[in-house]
Structure formats: structure tokens, C-alpha cells
């Protein structure tokens, strides 16, 4: 059934450049048809960016495509091979329940991967059923679109369709397929797979050249383009992880196969946003040792990038010792780059547009108070933005009074004045994030009752996180405290 090609009425315009790479990097894998697909979530914004007709996607033929029952004209479905360090342990992996249909070329000439998650078994399924449950697919839809609205590079979600078929996990759950849109699915793990014997040295170089041409064409003219590739990947990851930290986002599973070389956030399984500020916060049920805790994310990113650099050693220099020196020099720069991005944007969260030597100590003093008083991360910066200091648990303490006096003196030295500082804070501190209890509320209504209105309302609010509008107020409240910590699970 999936071999049937469709007309291009929806605006599909596929190329298949990844499928022209060495065959060791992928396996042909058609989606497995499903019984009775129904569209339950779709992004008109994403469709428009891709050059697709959203109404055509809502048609029966459009839904059949999103379910994997039909193939758009020009699609060449494959499952990509990759490896990864999962909680520090290396293993070969691959798309076990995801099928890359191809790359959509937009009217503006941009290229985006179109991938169906939960589309059935592939040669990399490792005994799994290749399917996905509705809840995790809706979760990825919500989180990825919220991340985009927050200004964080991320994969996007075009649509979710239910399959009309259950999947068996701990219990029987409704099945679904998510259409994920990405700048590419090239990962650190893709290069690890190639370097670990999945391909020849020539094929490794072909993969590196492809990555450069697709994401970093500016380094083609450099004397050592592969060093330029490493530098660009490090730069993008430093920017990305800083943005995660600034909004309290915790990925949950920062394995090397979940680090996209494009600099996008990818794979939203056990991720969540921090309420109470604590660098040791962990949500993932499988992260027993706290390897991927909020405060560890920058160090883990550096570790992952070191694994990427190792794969490039044969390309960096003919002499291995020289190659190692080049790689180490760049990896050491990650911490400096990350810290620079983080510090600059933390200044903005406090309304500071210029730099002074004492700024970091001012920021760290605030964070320490927030940790000690169990302050809500997002709402504390929101309270500072609008002068509602009584809304923070730090208010009324001598420590906070002293800090506030220093902060106000620092604001008084801003060259652009108070109005600019206030606007800087409004645009740097979101009013709303995907609060865990709100996400769970939306998923519960959708999965157990077939009620998608709760999710649709949540998505509307999350679409403008810096609006600070009155209708967002109810979504700024923190969840009621419980004796059990919030836990997330791998499912996407």
C-alpha cells in the first residue's frame, strides 16, 4: 500500500540527498500501513513554512500520507543508521520506529527532513514493534512547538495522526504517528556509527562533506574544512545549551544520538521544564544517577562534542597527534563559548545591556537565593520584570534586600535608561512555559477522553510566551506540591 504514489496537490516537493550517500548509512524502510488514521493535531505555521497546503493535509489523502499509508510523490523512505553513547555506554542503533520520507524543498529553497515517527518496524527495530503511543507523540508536538516559540532552535512538529490500532506497553495504549520536521537528522551518533566501522574512511569523508554542504557551506573555502565543521558544531551547541539553561529546560536523555549537528533540539522523550530552581533537578525515570540533571547539561554537551571530535580525527590531520591537538583545542573552547552566551543572556534577563565585572556574582547571588528558598525559576524572573517582588519567597529577607539594592544600582548605570531595561526583561523572560502539570492535563484529556481542546488551548498560550497577556495568567501558576516528584518517561 505504501508504494502508491500521490499527486503533489498538497505542495510536497521532495529531494532525497541523504539516500544518495553510501548505503551503509541507511536501510530502505517503507512505513507500515495503519488501520484507520485520523488527524488530531496539525500546525498551520509549519505547513506554511514548508510550502504545504494545510487544507490538503486535512483531506483523506493528506491524512493517509501523514499516517504512512501512502507516499508523497518523490518520497524515498529510509531508516537512518547511527550509534550513540547512551548514559555513557556505546552501542550501535538506528531508526527503530522512524522513517525518513525525504527532504522537502520549500518555495524559498530551504531543505527540511520529513520523518514519520511510529511508522512501524525497520531493520533497526531491535525487536521493537516500531510503533508509538499517542501520549508521547502529542507531548513532542507540544514541547517542540513551545521551544520554537521560546526562540530555541528545535525540530518542529507538522502533525499527529492516530492509527486506530493499539500499542502494547505496560498497558494497551492508542497508537499514533508524528510527522517531525528537522533541518536534518545528522547526529553525533551518525558520525560515531561511521567511525566505528559502519563505513569506510572514504565514506566518513563523504558524510563529513555532506554535512558541511548541508549545514555549514561557509567553511568550504577554509584551509581545513573539517576543523571548520567541528568549530561550527561546537558554536551552535554552545548557543543551544545556553538557551536551554536560560528557560529551565531539561532534555533528560542527552545521549550522543540525541545531539543534532544542526544545533536543533531533538527528541523530546523524558524532557521537562523546571519549576523550583535546583541545578540537581532530574525528571527522567531512567536517569537514576542524575547524569543529565539540569546543572550537568553543559558538561554533558562538552563530553558529547568530544566524542564527535574523535570521529573527525582522521580528517583533521594526517598525523594523529596533531589531529588530537586540534580537536582538544576546539573542545576546550566550548565551555568559554557556552559561558559567554549564558552570561550575556542572563544579563538580559536582569535588564542589563552592557557589561561590568561584577555582573556574574550578581547573577550567582540571585540563583543561590532562589535555590535556598525553592523559588520558581520562571516566575521569579517574571516577578522581577514587573516589580512584583512580593510574589517571590525571597521577598522580605535581608539577603534579598541587599541584593535588590545592588541590582537597582546596576540598573541605574544602564546607558539606554529604565524603559529599555524593562523591555529587555520582557523579551528575555517568558510569562509561560510548558508547565509539566499543564502538559499532563492536556495529554490526559486527549488520550483518555479524546478531548483535544485542552491541548489546543495550551498550544495557543504557548505560541506567544513573551506576550505577558492577561489570558496567560492562569498558565503561570505552579503545580500543587505533592509527596512524589514529577517523573517523565522515554516514549518518543
Active site residues: 257
* 94 in Cβ contact with 79 (< 8 Å): yes
Mark out the alpha helices in 4-133 (DSSP H runs): 44-50, 54-58, 60-67
Nearest Cα neighbor of 159 from 190, 195, 118 is: 118
Where would I find the beta strands (DSSP E) of 43-171?
78-80, 83-86, 89-92, 98-105, 111-117, 132-133, 156-168
What DSSP designation does 249 have? E
Task: Name the one residue in this structure whose C-alpha cell is 506576550.
Answer: 467
- Residue 468 in 3-state DSSP? coil
* HSE of 324, CA atoms in CB hemisphere, 13 A: 3
* HSE of 100, CA atoms in CB hemisphere, 13 A: 25
Buried b (16+ CB within 10 A) or exposed e, 276-289: bbbeebbbbebbee
**Distance of alpha carbon 204 from alpha carbon 194, whole angstroms:** 6
* 295 in Cβ contact with 279 (< 8 Å): yes
**Distance of alpha carbon 159 from alpha carbon 180, whole angstroms:** 8
What DSSP designation does 133 have? E
Mark out the alpha helices in 248-376 (DSSP H runs): 297-316, 320-349, 359-373
Amino acid at each position: 500500500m505504501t508504494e502508491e504514489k500521490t499527486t503533489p496537490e498538497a505542495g510536497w516537493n521532495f529531494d532525497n540527498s541523504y539516500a544518495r550517500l553510501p548505503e551503509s548509512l541507511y536501510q530502505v524502510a517503507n512505513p507500515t500501513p495503519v488501520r484507520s488514521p485520523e488527524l488530531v493535531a496539525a500546525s498551520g505555521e509549519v505547513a506554511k513554512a514548508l510550502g504545504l497546503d494545510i487544507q490538503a493535509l486535512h483531506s483523506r489523502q493528506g491524512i493517509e500520507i501523514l499516517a504512512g499509508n501512502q507516499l508523497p510523490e518523490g518520497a524515498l523512505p529510509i531508516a537512518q543508521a547511527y550509534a550513540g553513547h547512551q548514559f555513557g555506554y556505546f552501542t550501535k542503533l538506528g531508526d527503530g520506529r522512524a522513517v525518513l520520507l525525504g527532504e522537502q524543498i520549500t518555495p524559498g529553497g530551504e531543505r527540511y527532513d520529513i520523518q514519520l515517527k511510529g511508522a512501524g518496524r525497520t531493520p533497526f527495530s531491535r525487536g521493537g514493534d516500531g510503533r508509538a503511543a499517542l501520549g508521547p507523540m502529542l507531548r513532542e508536538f507540544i514541547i517542540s512547538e513551545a521551544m520554537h516559540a521560546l526562540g530555541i532552535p528545535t525540530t518542529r512538529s507538522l502533525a499527529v495522526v492516530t492509527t486506530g490500532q493499539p500499542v502494547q506497553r505496560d498497558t494497551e495504549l492508542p497508537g499514533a504517528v508524528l510527522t517531525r520536521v528537522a533541518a536534518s537528522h545528522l547526529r553525533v551518533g551518525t558520525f560515531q556509527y561511521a567511525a566505528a566501522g559502519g563505513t569506510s574512511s572514504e565514506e566518513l569523508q563523504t558524510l563529513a562533506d555532506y554535512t558541511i554542504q548541508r549545514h555549514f557551506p561557509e567553511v568550504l573555502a577554509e584551509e581545513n574544512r573539517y576543523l571548520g565543521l567541528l568549530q561550527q558544531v561546537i558554536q551552535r551547541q554552545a548557543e543551544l545549551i545556553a538557551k536551554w539553561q536560560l528557560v529551565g529546560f531539561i532534555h533528560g536523555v542527552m545521549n550522543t544520538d540525541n545531539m543534532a549537528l544542526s544545533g536543533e533540539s531533538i527528541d523530546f522523550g523524558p524532557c521537562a521544564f523546571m519549576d523550583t530552581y535546583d541545578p540537581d533537578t532530574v525528571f527522567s525515570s531512567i536517569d537514576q544517577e542524575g547524569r543529565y540533571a539540569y546543572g550537568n547539561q553543559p558538561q554533558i554537551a562538552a563530553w558529547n562534542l568530544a566524542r564527535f571530535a574523535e570521529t573527525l580525527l582522521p580528517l583533521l590531520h594526517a598525523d594523529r597527534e596533531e589531529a588530537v591537538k586540534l580537536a582538544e583545542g576546539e573542545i576546550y573552547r566550548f565551555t568559554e563559548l557556552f559561558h559567554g552566551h549564558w552570561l550575556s543572556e542572563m544579563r538580559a534577563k536582569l535588564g542589563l545591556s552592557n557589561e561590568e565585572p561584577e555582573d556574574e556574582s550578581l547573577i550567582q547571588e540571585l540563583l543561590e537565593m532562589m535555590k535556598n528558598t525553592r523559588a520558581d525559576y520562571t516566575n521569579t524572573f517574571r516577578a522581577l520584570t514587573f516589580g512584583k517582588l512580593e510574589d517571590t519567597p525571597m521577598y522580605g529577607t535581608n539577603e534579598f534586600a541587599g541584593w535588590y539594592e545592588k541590582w537597582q544600582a546596576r540598573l541605574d548605570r544602564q546607558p539606554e535608561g529604565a524603559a529599555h531595561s524593562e523591555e529587555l526583561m520582557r523579551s528575555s523572560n517568558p510569562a509561560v512555559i510548558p508547565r509539566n502539570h499543564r502538559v499532563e492535563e492536556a495529554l490526559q484529556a486527549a488520550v483518555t477522553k479524546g478531548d483535544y481542546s485542552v491541548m489546543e488551548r495550551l498550544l495557543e498560550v504557548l505560541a506567544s510566551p513573551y506576550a505577558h497577556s492577561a489570558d496567560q495568567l492562569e498558565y503561570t501558576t505552579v503545580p500543587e506540591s505533592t509527596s512524589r516528584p514529577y517523573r517523565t518517561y522515554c516514549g518518543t
